[in-house]
Amino acid sequence: MKIMVVGGGGREHAIIKKIKQSPAVEEIYVLPGNAGMNKDAVCVNIGAKDLDGIVNFAKENKIDYAIVAPDDPLVLGAVDRLNEIGIPCFGPKANAAIIEGSKIFSKNLMKKYGIPTAGYEVFTEMEPALKYLDSSSYPTVIKADGLALGKGVVIAMNKEEAIDAVKSMMEDRMFGDSGSRVVIEEFLTGPEVSVLAFTDGKTVVPMISSMDHKRALDNDEGLNTGGMGTVAPNPYYTSDVAEQCMKDIFLPTINAMNSEGRTFKGCLYFGLMLTPKGPKVIEYNCRFGDPETQVVLPLLESDLLEIMMACTNGTLTTDMVKFSDKHACCVIMASGGYPKSYKSGFEITAEDGMTADIYFAGAKETDGKLVTAGGRVLGVTAVDKDLESAIAKAYENVKKVNFEGAHYRKDIGKRAMAASK
């Protein structure tokens, strides 16, 4: 089969490395991919948001199956467009991808169907939002309605910070139209868990749980990033919690989307907080998480392509999805300065035999050399029998990868270690 993967980061690289193991795969094209993936797929210089380009490429190259990985093309309707020309896809159609594309949609969905989440109010005008802040308790959480590269959430510690956040979203349009409407919600506390789940719209099969590390610096300090590292499984996510989440969150969400005429097929990402009052949904994503995928898929023992096609065809069953009982740790190596401004173009070198464990995100080729070309440059994943060994191995391998100014957190998995003791 000829497979097309839309997207270009570490998550896509992890998906590609996994589907390459499937005997059905003959050729993998990735749009746009990055030069770090050259050994695993054919990179095609078409952007992930260029729907016309994607559709034309798929038609001309007689693609048999497409995997649309990032949020933007899903929300824009890439799956709808590809289906129109007869190409089956992994990923939700636009009318279901809205579960990530609009926070107001997802909050209203949860309220309507009794799915546990933080209490909230929606504002479409700035004045009432500012007025509401007078009577809010703090900290409070301000969220832009639309997609904002994972940066549209502000935890305001006091009224002044909250006013700043609302104004920068609604008046200064820091996130463009994504901030024309905002959600102001209750601040929750508790450990966070990411659960990615396969679904064909009827059956939902959760993957192994994971823990992201969103802040730039050790001890969860510094700015929010796209994610600086992950471990799987997440020790807070016990089998009791998993059972409760299936009953109160996963199945009700799939059923709610069906009731709304918005059947969700693909990977649904549940960002959960285990609060003192039970698990609650912090956010939904309509896709695999990044860098969660870089620890979840290396632990998958089943054929990923077969599972994906079952999601598309409506034939998913629980026994198709098997995970190993090992542990995984991914450490992201970023450009110095990320998530603020940083320099690019530094040569990336890795000791021989290392590339099998590297997922490239921001890399390009210049004069035959692989050089940095983004904030998050790559992730190094290690799998081992227990969490401690996986973490140790990941950091050993990080030492074998070099580029000028490389920045990475030294404490990925530390909290998980403490929790598992």
Decide if 188 contacts 155 (C-beta within 8 A): no
The span from the CA of 189 to the CA of 276, in Å, is: 8
Tell which one of 32, 47, 53, 150 touches ligand AMP (CB under 6 A): 150
* Cα gap 120→135, rounded to integer Å: 13
Helix, strand, or coil here: 373?
coil
**Are the C-beta atoms of 146 and 177 separated by less than 8 Å?**
yes
285 interacts with, out of ligand AMP, ligand GLY, none, CB within 5 to 8 A per kind: ligand GLY
Q: Per CB under 6 A, does 118 bind ligand AMP?
A: yes
Contact call for residue 289 and ligand GLY (CB under 6 A): yes
Q: What is the CA radius of gyration of the chain?
A: 21
- Residue 262: CB atoms within 10 Å: 19
Minimum distance, C-beta of residue 269 to ligand AMP, in the bound complex (Å): 10
List 37's β-bridge partners, or say none. Answer: none
Closest distance between ligand GLY and the C-beta of residue 32, in Å? 19
Residue type, 298: P
**271 vs 278, which CB is nearer to ligand AMP?**
271
185 binds, among ligand AMP, ligand GLY, none (CB under 5 to 8 A by kind): ligand AMP
Residue 290 CB, shortest distance to ligand GLY, in Å, is 5
CA distances from 331 to 69, 293, 307, 314 (A): 21, 12, 27, 35
Out of 50, 72, 290, 357, point to the residue binding ligand GLY (CB under 6 A).
Answer: 290
Q: What does the per-residue mask of binding to ligand GLY show for 212-231, with x meaning CB under 6 A?
A: x--------------x----
Interacting stretch for ligand GLY, rule CB under 6 A, among 158-166, 201-209, 287-295, 328-336? Answer: 287-295
How many other CB atoms are found less than 10 A from the CB of residue 31?
A: 26
Contact mark string toward ligand GLY, 158..197, x via CB under 6 A: ----------------------------------------
Distances (CA, A) of 285 to 40, 229, 289, 400: 26, 18, 8, 33
Regarding 188 and contact with ligand AMP (CB under 6 A), the answer is yes
* Shortest Å distance, C-beta 259 to ligand AMP: 24
Of the pair 283, 303, the CB lying nearest ligand AMP is at 283
Please tell me whether residue 71 binds ligand AMP under the rule CB under 6 A. Answer: no
Determine, following the binding rule CB under 6 A, whether residue 161 of this chain makes contact with ligand AMP: no
Q: What span, in angstroms and rounded, lies between the C-alpha atoms of 198 and 5?
A: 17
Q: Are 334 and 228 in contact (CB under 8 A)?
A: yes
User: With contacts defined by CB under 6 A, how many residues of the chain interact with ligand GLY?
Assistant: 7
In angstroms, the CA 321 to CA 316 distance is 9
CA distance 51 to 223: 32
Residue 47: which of 97, 101, 95, 6 has the closest Cα?
A: 6
According to CB under 6 A, which one of 185, 292, 303, 357 is a site residue for ligand AMP? Answer: 185
Q: Confirm or reject binding of residue 191 to ligand AMP (CB under 6 A).
A: no
Contact status: 397 vs ligand GLY (CB under 6 A): no
Give which of ligand GLY, ligand AMP, none residue 303 binds (C-beta under 5 to 8 Å, depending on kind): none
User: Residue 113 has which token pair?
Assistant: 């169907």
**Residue 127 CB, nearest approach to ligand GLY (Å):** 31
Is residue 12 at the binding interface for ligand GLY, with CB under 6 A as the rule? no
Is there binding between residue 72 and ligand GLY (CB under 6 A)?
Answer: no
CB-nearer residue toward ligand AMP: 37 or 330: 330
Three-class SS of residue 78?
Answer: helix
Task: Choose one: 91-99, 184-192, 297-305, 338-346; the region binding ligand AMP (CB under 6 A).
Answer: 184-192
User: Is residue 121 part of the contact set for ligand AMP (CB under 6 A)?
Assistant: no
Residue 99 interacts, among ligand AMP, ligand GLY, none and using kind-specific CB cut-offs from 5 to 8 Å, with none
**Letter string b/e over residues 356-390, b meaning 16 or more CB atoms within 10 A of that residue's CB:** ebbbbbbbbeeeeebbbbbbbbbbbbbbbeebbeb
- According to the binding rule CB under 6 A, does residue 150 interact with ligand GLY? yes
Burial class (CB in 10 A: 0-12, 13-18, 19+), 84: exposed
- The residue ranges that bind ligand GLY (CB under 6 A) are 150, 212, 227, 285, 289-290, 292
- The residue ranges that bind ligand AMP (CB under 6 A) are 118, 141, 150, 153, 155, 185-188, 192, 214, 271, 282-283
